[in-house]
Amino acid sequence: MNWSLKVNGIDKCLQLLSVKRRDGKNLPVDDAFGIWIDMTCLIRLEKRTIFLIGNGASASMASHVSADLAKNGHVHTEVFSDLSLITAIANDLSYDDVFAEPLRRRMKKGDMLVAISSSGQSINVLKATEEARKMEGLVVTLSAMKNDNSLASKGDLNFYVPASTYGMAETCHAAILHHWIDKIVERNTQ
């Protein structure tokens, strides 16, 4: 595939972005971003925390977005990227609990979890969304691959792109997350 086809594929995938509420109803994309931005600004105002999670490239993206939100959006964020924490939980409990276990100790009612999974099938991400619900946190999900993946119905807002490869999913998720950050920064300057 040449570059032009690749870029066109990314554009098409982003144009097909869909967002569903927890009840399964579709939201217009701009309305969904507006809700997400309002939720984020309220979290910032109330000095709450946004937790970001993912595996592999999604973990790297979570860390990057966490830094940008903290630095540019003035939002308190947290990621679970400490190798000692991850390996202790994976060894002593299970890898399925590497995100849910720290959330149990750190998340407070009204905090937000942003869960990123290209396949939408990562057990540790799914367990964390369940834990965030129990803690009465807000949940935003980003997924791809199959539109009926398990993660695509776990959030208050569920962003889904019809990407069929990890590279395409990760590229689209990065664009979605940066749009969110840019809109938060815009709000800061108003």
86-117: pLDDT as tens digits: 999 999 999 999 999 999 999 999 999 999 99
In order of their start, the domains of the chain are 3-189 (3.40.50.10490)
How many CB atoms sit inside 10 A of residue 128's CB? 29
pLDDT band of residue 190 (cuts 50, 70, 90) is low
- Count CA within 13 A, CB hemisphere, residue 116: 27
Query: Alpha helices of the chain — where are they, by DSSP H?
Result: 3-15, 29-45, 57-73, 83-92, 100-106, 123-134, 166-189
- Per-residue pLDDT tens digits for 55-74: 999 999 999 999 999 999 99
- Digit-coded pLDDT (tens) for 115-153: 999 999 999 999 999 999 999 999 999 999 999 999 999
Residue 188 banded pLDDT, cuts 50, 70, 90: confident
- Please choose, from the candidates 133, 137, 180, 185, the residue with its C-alpha nearest in 3D space to the C-alpha of residue 159: 180
Residues 6+ apart with CB under 8 A from 31: none
Distance CA 185, CA 165 (A): 30
pTM of the predicted model, to two decimals? Answer: 0.97
